[in-house]
Structure 1
């Protein structure tokens, strides 16, 4: 029994990365990366956020230290898997952030949390993703290796080393294709309720992935208000605008009074 408990704890810990532990932080910020991305994408954010916020990156299977695990192929089992390990981490107020594919996962995760009657995030922050009512359909995951690589490189968030190193590209390709298949076969439930929490929408003003009105469509997903925050840059504006983005997040989360962030 003791071994089983330890194995369960080790499994749960694989899902979460804290680059800077802040045990006295009043608030946790869970972060979900883009397709093909891992927890390390957020490593530099931890030092840019105030001491009151502890960043916890959610690490999906198939990447970085979990590269030996098969990636999860579809949205529903992915959200279910995260939900199953998240509850012990909800012992203090928290917010949820996701970029691109991560934004869709974060939204579905909040819907799951709401259905279960668990403590909701203070805020959902979505980035670089159209509102679910305007869910884009595509079949890039079925493209040839050459066309697939060209398309993801054009977005600007993938290391040029992928093009220069066939070995690295061969290693990264299965997870990239899996994530694109996951998000391209994802169909939001048309009967989903609005979330009972505010949503902050962040986006690059020159993002080729977003059509006019895509960011504004998030206003349909909350009964508690939605705000938009535009930044200079394309789909991966987060990298050059890292400081401005973390300042924006800090302001959004800093609106809560100390009393509202009391530890349980």
Structure 2
């Protein structure tokens, strides 16, 4: 892994893109978490204290929601990848691991490729959750549907406060970001199975309504440096109920305590 040599000095733009959970001023490693479609950094708030003192957790703050509510939403994977990667560059003075859930898994994969081929830096590992491998994707044009159809899909998958979507005023606020994210999802893939230069660890709930264990197994096709698959009890948002099991697995692999990167 080819790292930047100087001390980390994240720019204002970088801090705008990431919520930082700093437990030490001199971390030995970083974990970047990339949320799902319609998700925000606050969904992963508990992850900020789920790892050891040597691990700094960064969670992506997508535009168009929460404290970035007035920022223009991004609705294409290529632009989202570019923006996240550029914001991440100042943090590469220590090894970086990527974790992405659902849409975030595809984004994490693209960021891993962009880091390696565009900046000569390979992540320590890529962790992907509840998302088909890039070459197995079957995009659905839900972003072209009406608001009710889009909301129905969000509720079907879970992970979003139903009361938030039931309130007309709040729904009007959150819908643009949800539609932008589903446009990213609906216009991305399938694409070539380009390999990443790091181990890949995949996670899925055994009752996911849209993705099978076989779908997740296909991530092995882009993982010549090693692949593992963990199946948890739960649906698309198994990570809500199984948070500790998941973060423990990610932590073991991030610190190398289970024999994997």
Q: Same fold (TM over 0.5)?
A: yes
Query: 2:238 & 2:245 partners in 1: Cα distance?
Result: 10
Query: 2:203 & 2:157 partners in 1: Cα distance?
Result: 17
Conservation of the 8 A alpha-carbon contact between 2:135 and 2:191: no
For the pair 1:242 / 2:237, whether they are aligned, the reply is no
> Could you tell me how far 1:188 is from its partner in structure 2?
4.7
For the pair 1:68 / 2:51, whether they are aligned, the reply is no
Quote the RMSD (CA, aligned, Å).
Answer: 1.8
Q: Which of 140-149 and 8-17 deviates more?
A: 8-17
Matches within 5 A, 1:76-87: 76-87=78-89
> Could you tell me how far 1:62 is from its partner in structure 2?
1.1
**TM-score normalised according to structure 1 size:** 0.89
Matches within 5 A, 1:142-153: 142-153=144-155
Query: 1:60 & 1:97 partners in 2: Cα distance?
Result: 15
Conservation of the 8 A alpha-carbon contact between 1:128 and 1:235: yes
Matches within 5 A, 1:82-231: 82-190=84-192, 193-211=194-212, 213-231=214-232
Structure 1 gaps, min length 5: 1-7
Structure 2 gaps, min length 5: 1-9
Aligned residue for 2:160, secondary structure, equals: coil
Aligned residue for 2:202, secondary structure, equals: strand
Q: Which of 158-167 and 61-70 deviates more?
A: 158-167
Aligned residue for 2:37, secondary structure, equals: coil
- After superposing on structure 2, the runs of 4+ consecutive aligned residues of structure 1 that deviate more than 6 Å are none
Q: Which of 240-249 and 47-56 deviates more?
A: 47-56
Q: Which of 179-188 and 169-178 deviates more?
A: 179-188
Query: 1:212 & 1:52 partners in 2: Cα distance?
Result: 33
2:39 is matched with which residue: 30, 37, 40? Answer: 37
Give the number of equivalent residue pairs: 250
Corresponding residue for residue 17 of structure 1 = 19
Aligned residue for 1:43, secondary structure, equals: helix
Aligned residue for 2:240, secondary structure, equals: coil
**TM-score normalised according to structure 2 size:** 0.90
Query: 1:212 & 1:39 partners in 2: Cα distance?
Result: 27
